[in-house]
Amino acid sequence: MALIETTGLTKHYGPVKALDQLDLMVEPGIIGLVGANGAGKSTLLKILLGLLSPTSGRATVLGMDTVRETRAIRQVVGYMPEHDCLPPDVGATDFVTHMARISGLPRTAARERTAEVLRHVGLYEERYRQIGGYSTGMKQRVKLAQALVHDPKVLLLDEPTNGLDPSGRDEMLDLIKRTGTDFGITVVVASHLLGEIEQVCGYLLAIDAGHLLQAAPISHFTQRTPVLAVEVEEGADRLAAALSSRGARARQDGNRVLVAIESDALYDSVRDLVADLALPLIRIQQERGRLEDLFRDAPTAGSLQ
């Protein structure tokens, strides 16, 4: 059974289509949900939580319908919103305990879980202080803690690294990774930063303007491509021209020449040409796909023509 599944999911805000016929299947793991701002990431998460109802189509979480079985879903889902969501004049312990009880945990269990979860996210002595005095990094930890406190099976995180400095960002990502791998909780991380997704996620969903652009394991995007990159200090134009004249499909890209690998003979001709032209060679390597290429033209062999 797919953990999260949507079929023909559409959401309109007036004339604006936030989601347009979105079909998804999500398996357990750490899943990155990438898209530019306004691509429909938050809308998708809110529909999965039952905060918004879809204009058409349907979505299920753990096989439960998001419109009809909202309550059952909420028992097993934790949500960390993108925006600030913490009152400043209570302590983190009080706040998270309260949220645990609203999730239905009995009083003592709520206290125990709160202590445990706050320790997991790395809040120690400061957890009794009022949240208003916390740094952004600590607030993000409290937000994660309240999403985890009722031990959900699925965690939906909307821009969890918002507003964090680089080290805070790395700590948060690490926390997310541990949550996903050590705790066995499926985590969906919505982000517009591909670098973050690459660091923590095993699977990637790319959405753009409400459509599913790509859905595949991260490794799929970073595989080797059948393109050889030859980097030279100068004379890239001459090399490209020489390769083309030999029938290879080559294109100059700055001081690099990208050439399609059609047979092993290519390596020899590149070596010979570089030697013949006496070019200052820096490196020859096979191109790897990059996540960024999702939103650009990927360097496939076809694009070189």
Q: Looking at residue 86, what DSSP letter applies?
A: -
| 3-state DSSP assignment of residue 90 | coil
The CB-of-133 to another protein minimum distance in angstroms stands at 12
Q: Which is nearer to another protein, 116 or 233 (CB)?
A: 116
CB of 12 vs another protein, minimal distance in Å: 16
Q: Which residues pair with 19 in a beta bridge?
A: 11
Residues contacting residue 23 through CB under 8 Å, at least 6 positions apart = 6, 7, 8, 9, 212
Cβ closest to another protein, residue 35 vs residue 81: 81
**Least Cβ distance, residue 258 to another protein (angstroms):** 29
* Beta carbon of residue 137, minimum distance to another protein (angstroms, whole number): 11
Count Cβ atoms within 10 A of the Cβ of residue 132 and give its class: 0-12 exposed, 13-18 middle, 19 or more buried: exposed
Q: Closer to another protein at the Cβ: 173 or 188?
A: 173
Residues that bind another protein (CB under 8 A): 49-51, 71, 74-75, 77, 79, 81, 83-90, 94, 98-99, 101-106, 109, 113, 116, 119-120, 122, 124, 130, 146, 150-151, 167, 170-171, 173-174, 177-178, 182-184, 199-200
* CA-wise closest residue to 196 among 218, 223, 220, 179: 218
**DSSP symbol at 183:** S
Nearer to another protein, 102 or 282 (CB): 102
Q: Give the residue with the Cβ less far from another protein, 88 or 302.
A: 88
Smallest gap from residue 120 Cβ to another protein (A): 6
Taking the complex as a whole, the smallest distance from the CB of residue 65 to another protein amounts, in Å, to: 16
Q: What does each C-alpha distance from 78 to 143, 189, 212 come to in angstroms? A: 10, 12, 24
Evaluate whether 216 touches 204 at the Cβ level (below 8 Å). Answer: yes
Cα gap 36→229, rounded to integer Å? 29
Helix (H, G, I), strand (E, B) or coil at 238: helix
Which of 47, 236 has the CB closer to another protein? 47
- Shorter beta-carbon distance to another protein: residue 77 or 248: 77
Q: Which CB, 163 or 280, lies closer to another protein?
A: 163
**CA-to-CA distance for 106 and 96, rounded, in angstroms?**
13
- Intra-chain end-to-end CA distance of the chain, in Å: 43
**Chain centroid to CA 289:** 16
Give the nearest distance from C-beta 127 to another protein in angstroms. 12
Q: Name the minimum Å distance from CB 82 to another protein.
A: 10
Phi, psi of 164 (to 5 degrees): -95, 150
